[in-house]
Amino acid sequence: MRPHFAAVIGDPVRRSLSPAIFRAFSLRLDRPLHYRAVTLEPGRLAEALGRAPSLPWLGWNVTIPFKVRILPLLDRVEGEALAAGAVNVVRFEHGRRIGYNTDAEGFLAPLRRMGVALRGKKALVLGAGGAARAVLAALRVEEAELRVLNRSRASAEELGRAFGAAAGTLDEAGRLAAEADLVVNATPLGQGGEGSPLPPGTRFKKGALAYDLVYRPARTPFLAAAEQAGARTLGGLAMLVAQATATWRIWFGAAPPPAMQGEVLRELEGTLA
Nearer to ligand NDP, 53 or 82 (CB): 82
Q: Which of residues 171-190 bind ligand NDP (CB under 6 A)?
A: 186-189
Instruction: Pick the binder of ligand NDP from 27, 47, 152, 199 (CB under 6 A).
Output: 152
Residue 148 touches ligand NDP, criterion: CB under 6 A: no
- Nearer Cβ to ligand NDP (122/155): 155
Task: Please state, in angstroms and rounded to a whole number, the distance separating the CA atoms of residues 102 and 125.
Answer: 18
Q: Which residues in the 31-50 window bind ligand NDP by CB under 6 A?
A: none
* CA distance readout (Å), 188 to 31, 95, 191, 230: 32, 34, 6, 23
Near ligand NDP by CB under 6 A: residue from 8, 52, 109, 131:
131
Residue count at the site for ligand NDP (CB under 6 A)? 28
- In whole angstroms, the minimum distance from the beta carbon of 56 to ligand NDP comes to 26
Tell me whether strands 57-62 and 89-93 are parallel, antiparallel or unpaired.
antiparallel
Cβ neighbourhood burial of 158 (10 Å; 0-12, 13-18, 19+): middle
Helices (H), the chain: 18-29, 45-51, 79-84, 103-113, 130-141, 153-163, 173-177, 221-228, 237-252, 258-272
CA distance to 158, 203, 217, per residue, from 174 (Å): 22, 7, 22
For residue 132, state whether it binds ligand NDP (rule: CB under 6 A): yes
Minimum separation from the CB atom of position 186 to ligand NDP (A) = 5
Active site residues: 67
**110 lies in the site for ligand NDP, by CB under 6 A:** no
Residues that bind ligand NDP (CB under 6 A): 63-65, 67, 103, 106, 127-132, 150-152, 155, 186-189, 191, 213-215, 236, 239-240, 243
